[in-house]
Amino acid sequence: MMAQYHALKAEAPDCLLFYRMGDFFELFFEDARIAAATLDIALTARGHHGGELVPMCGVPAHSAEAYLARLIKAGHRVAIADQVETPAEAKKRGGSKALVGRAIIRIVTAGTLTEEMLLEARAANWLVAIAEAGGELGLAAADISTGRFEVQPVTRPALPAELARLNPAETIVAEGMDGLVADAIPAGRFDSGQAEQRLKSRFGVATLDGFGAFTRAELAAAGGLLAYLDRAGRGAPVLLQPPVRRATADHMMIDAATRESLEMTQASGGGRKGSLLDAVDRTVTGAGARLLAMDIGAPLVERAEIEGRLDLVGWLAEDGGQRERLRAALRALPDIGRALGRLVAKRGGPRDLGQLRDGLDAARTLHEALTRLAEAPALLRHLLPALAGHGALVEELRRALVPAPPIDASQGGYIAEGYDAALDELRGVGGEGRRAIAALEARYRDTTGISALKIRHNNVLGYHVEVPARSADRLMTDPGFTHRQTLAGVVRFNAPELHEQASRVTSAGAHALAAEAAHLEELTALALARTAAIVATADALARLDVAAGLAERACEDGWCRPHFVDHACFEVAGGRHPVVERAVAATGERFVANDCGLSEDRRLWLVTGPNMGGKSTFLRQNALIAVLAQAGSFVPASSCTMGLVDRLFSRVGASDNLARGRSTFMVEMVETAAILAQATERSFVILDEVGRGTSTYDGLAIAWAVVEAVHDRNRCRCLFATHYHELTRLAERLDALALHHVRAREWKGDLVLLHELAPGPADRSYGLAVARLAGLPPAVLRRAGAVLAKLEEGKAKTGGIAAGLDELPLFAHLAAVEPDKADPLRAALDAIDVDALSPREALDALYRLKAAAGDG
């Protein structure tokens, strides 16, 4: 057995090997240690190898999916080695000691999942392959759970942005490619010539011209992906639509840093909650949620396509009754796209066919209802044909299947009564046999006098008589019963009459299962013959769900339809941050809306004001409004007019990347450099506190130069927030620069943050007031106030920011007490007559001084 195990392990050395032994999948050696630690299960040992015990652990085969899910989530691959013959076949092949044949039937990886339990219902599951050929890069991406397949050329600088858009579950590259964090596989699988033939064969075409003019690098990536899927599935088919050729110019370019800082699909702490996607998502199906995530991740840049989506959202927003009827119908739909994916991959079952039946039938009903509506928008008219045309398949599945088919086909019971007369007859024989066995059980109780006698069944003994151990002697001497097995507390027997009845039941049951399996295969073939049409239906339903969900979201908070123009502007009235607004509303407070007016002659706004005043929120909300608008959504504003954005950049917040040797300031500079190198006149940029991670002079100089570069060279729409008030002087010579600030007021010594944007620069930064709000100790605040006064005095005299600091004594702040506010610690010290104190009084005085210092 160990020789067989090692041979199988050699086929998949990079995987944990699930080795089937009876009702368990066992793991050995290092695989066992890894799996036991990951799954928190017992690590045992079995036999010896090389003079040492063999580590071993196992999981039940019937619940293997749950363990697989945990292993895959932990980053492991798993090779499934199953039995490919029965013990009887093995015995016939090689005698009584022949080992049952086993083979790796599948390699389970994060990017090759189709099982419902292993997938996140509301997230796509992309497998990405990257290849290099002729000095160019190509990217192929497939989600085999739904069949989506994309291919595109990509430059190395743009590659991180594309990977961030897809957020793949798994990425593979050819061995030898440098600088990419991905799993390397043999370069031979990325041969572009072989890839072309593989694609032609896969989609049954003589030429790929109908799919697009692919570069060698794109072909290599697509071929590598297909080869990987073939190896993982051991030749089993997977659901793949014909490849769609994309280009980076097809959608708004958003790099990984921008996606992270804007929390587009994931919040900063991980997960969807708190992200833009979470704030917007009102879809009622898994397919709709996945499509919405793709829309937000890749906003469109083609105006006509955006307007088509907005027309459908607007139509549904205006008709609340129609919207609710549509959402109610969609809410009841199964995920037919993923059900089809499992059937194609031969991992489906009766329930998946039932889901196709119910989903396609509901789509037909929707088609009939929506076709009757007048003045439907163009996108809806385009989607309607895909909802119909499945009548014959639906009727056949309705006749053939029970209303709620089971997941597991092995026990039968999924073919409806009346569909197959021969099957009904077999079931009748089996039913009569089971009734006869029940009658036999009653008769055995009467004749033996053992009231606890039962007839039971298991996979080893079949049907047998079971009695408590204390009653077994009566059957041991009865010639009508033959002893089979003694267990703790019970004894089991055979009986000739029972054997005869059991044979009838077993034979009828086996034939019935075979008949049902044949019908399952036929019905699956009928469904797979309509694969392309079913995929189109699933896509159309998902698009309807997205539009209805966006309409629902727009109506919840009074969002408006964005208006697009041909020139580069960004004019928003009453704009709000969709995530922050909800969080603020939950506390019972009101979010303060603000306007933004970027035009060709005022394309760069310099925003000043205190921390916590709302600068970062203002910057982010406008970037998110641009994303939502071009994704085809209404936006959180009173009105919105904008020119299309080709690239979106965000340099907001501070973080380091110590693993790559980058400090917070280095990360800031890398991100800023990328913006200056890539932003065009059609881009939208938000920059917050550039230069704050280094010395004051260096930071101001960098921020000054960046503002000039954005204004003079990039000439893009930009919101630039800063604490460097010196930058406001740039307004004197940069004609497209406008000054704005977030308003704040001090009232009776307290800072009131108004979160309102107003024209002009801020009068000061209110840094000490914010520090007081944050709870800085009063003594520290007084010291900071004295330092600030000296700094401002030195600056006024010499023009130097740090002038006069060397003249400031360490405890000067103790003397700088406002006349009307006597220092309680100083007063307590002055009141003490040191020479007159007894030791006890001195100790009491020390305690009073300590208390005064703490209160101060």
pLDDT, tens digit, 9 for 90 and up, residues 374-429: 788 999 999 999 999 999 999 999 999 999 999 989 889 999 999 999 999 888 88
Amino acid letter for position 736: A
Percent of the residues in the chain that have a pLDDT greater than 70, as a whole number: 93
79 and 145 belong to one structural domain: no
pLDDT at position 23 is 87
pLDDT bucket at 96, cuts 50 / 70 / 90: confident
Are 241 and 300 part of one and the same domain?
Answer: no
Residues 756 and 735 in one domain: yes
pLDDT value for 95:
77
Residue 446 lies in a domain: yes
pLDDT exceeds cutoff 60 at 660: no
User: Does a structural domain hold residue 784?
Assistant: yes
Across the range 478-496, mean pLDDT stands at 91
CATH number at residue 439: 1.10.1420.10
Query: pLDDT band at 765, cuts 50/70/90?
Result: low
- Mean pLDDT of all residues in 50-71: 90
Tens digits of per-residue pLDDT, 101-133? 999 999 999 999 998 888 999 999 999 999 999
**In the numeric block, which tokens belong to residue 452?**
């606890």
Ligand-binding site membership of 615 (annotated) = yes
Asked if the model's pLDDT at residue 287 lies above 70, the reply is yes
The set of long-range contacts for 263-271, using a CB threshold of 8 Å and a minimum separation of 24, is: 263/579, 264/296, 264/297, 264/624, 264/627, 265/167, 265/293, 265/296, 265/297
Sign of the four-CA dihedral 154, 157, 162, 167: positive
Residue 395 in domain: no
The pLDDT tens digits of the residues spanning 402-417 come to 999 999 898 899 999 9
- Would you list the DSSP string of 10-72? HH-TTSEEEEEETTEEEEEHHHHHHHHHHHT---EEEEEETTEEEEEEEEEGGGHHHHHHHHH
Whether 134 is covered by a domain: the verdict is: yes
DSSP summary character for residue 359: H
Q: Are residues 630 and 727 in the same domain?
A: yes
In this structure, of 175-189, 476-490, 834-848, the range with the lowest mean pLDDT score is 834-848
Residue 812 reports pLDDT greater than 50:
no
Chain centroid to Cα 852, Å, comes to 55
CA 318 to chain CA centroid, Å, is 32
* Mean pLDDT of all residues in 327-354: 95
Residues 160 and 203 reside in one and the same domain? yes
CA distance 540 to 362: 13
Residue 40: its pLDDT value, please? 94
Query: Does pLDDT of 791 surpass 80?
Result: no
658: pLDDT confidence band, cut at 50, 70 and 90?
A: very low
The domain boundary residue, chosen from 208, 227, 250: 250
The reply, when asked if residue 611 is annotated as ligand binding, is yes
- Has residue 552 been placed in a domain? yes
C-alpha closest to that of 359 among 219, 228, 535: 535
Summarize the chain as % helix, strand, coil (round to 5): 50, 20, 30
Same domain, yes or no, for 715 and 792? no
Q: Say which residue, 676 or 763, is predicted with more confidence.
A: 676
Confidence bin at 810 (pLDDT 50/70/90): very low
Taking residues 71-81, what's their average pLDDT?
Answer: 94
pLDDT tens digits along 549-592: 999 999 999 999 999 999 999 999 999 999 999 988 888 888 99
pLDDT at position 772: 76
**845 or 358, higher pLDDT:** 358
pLDDT for 614: 83
In a domain, 413, yes or no: no
Q: Residue 819: is its pLDDT beyond 60?
A: no
3-state secondary structure 490-547: EEEEECHHHHHHHHHHHHHHHHHHHHHHHHHHHHHHHHHCCHHHHHHHHHHHHHHHHH
Chain centre to alpha carbon of residue 440: 57
574 annotated ligand-binding residue: no
Q: Which residues contact 375 (CB under 8 A, 6 or more apart)?
A: none
Q: 616 labelled as ligand-binding?
A: yes
Q: Can you give the pLDDT at residue 689?
A: 85
pLDDT value of position 802: 39
Q: How far apart are the first and last CA of the chain?
A: 79
- Asked if 664 and 810 sit in the same domain, the reply is no
Q: Please say if the pLDDT value at position 856 is more than 60.
A: no
**Are the C-beta atoms of 131 and 188 separated by less than 8 Å?**
no
User: Which range has the worst mean pLDDT, 273-287, 809-823, 835-849?
Assistant: 809-823
The whole domain housing 848 covers 822-856
What is the overall mean pLDDT for the chain? 88
Is 795 labelled as part of a ligand binding site?
Answer: no
Q: How many CB atoms lie within 10 A of CB 481?
A: 22
**696 and 840 share one domain:** no
Quick one: average pLDDT of 28-42?
Answer: 94
pLDDT digits (tens, 9 = 90+) for 532-556: 999 999 999 999 999 999 999 999 9
pLDDT given for residue 558 in this prediction: 95
* 639 marked as binding residue: no
Residue 612, annotated as binding a ligand: yes
CB-side exposure of 713: number of CA atoms within 13 Å?
11
535 & 431 share domain: no
Give CA–CA dist 486/466, Å, rounded. Answer: 10
Range with top average pLDDT, 186-190, 276-280, 481-485: 276-280
pLDDT of residue 46: 82
Residue 806: what pLDDT? Answer: 44
Q: Which segment of 324-328, 490-494, 505-509 scores lowest on mean pLDDT?
A: 505-509
Residues 476-499: what's their mean pLDDT?
90
Q: What is the CATH number of the domain that holds 101?
A: 3.40.1170.10
Total number of domains in the chain = 7
160 is in an annotated binding site: no
pLDDT at 505: 86
Question: Quick one: 186 and 298 in the same domain?
Answer: no
Residue 822: per-residue pLDDT = 52
Q: What's the CA angle centered on 224, arms 257 and 248, to 5 degrees?
A: 35
- Same domain for 579 and 472: no
> Does residue 801 register a pLDDT over 60?
no
Residue 166 lies in a domain: yes
Rounded percentage of the chain residues whose pLDDT exceeds 90:
62
Q: 327 or 502, which is more confident?
A: 327
pTM of the model: 0.86
Within this chain, do residues 71 and 128 fall inside the same structural domain, yes or no? no
User: In the prediction, which pLDDT does 796 show?
Assistant: 62
Q: How far apart are CA 267 and CA 321, in angstroms?
A: 34
The predicted-structure confidence for 776-788, as pLDDT tens digits, reads as follows 888 887 887 787 7
Confidence of residue 818 (pLDDT cuts 50, 70, 90): very low
pLDDT at 789: 78
Closest CA to 239 of 341, 150, 339: 341
Q: Kindly state the average pLDDT of the residues 350-359.
A: 97
508 found inside a domain: no
Distance CA 173, CA 507 (A): 53
Interacting residues of 525 by C-beta distance below 8 A, sequence separation 6+: none
Q: Given 66, 90, 108, which residue is the final one in a domain?
A: 108
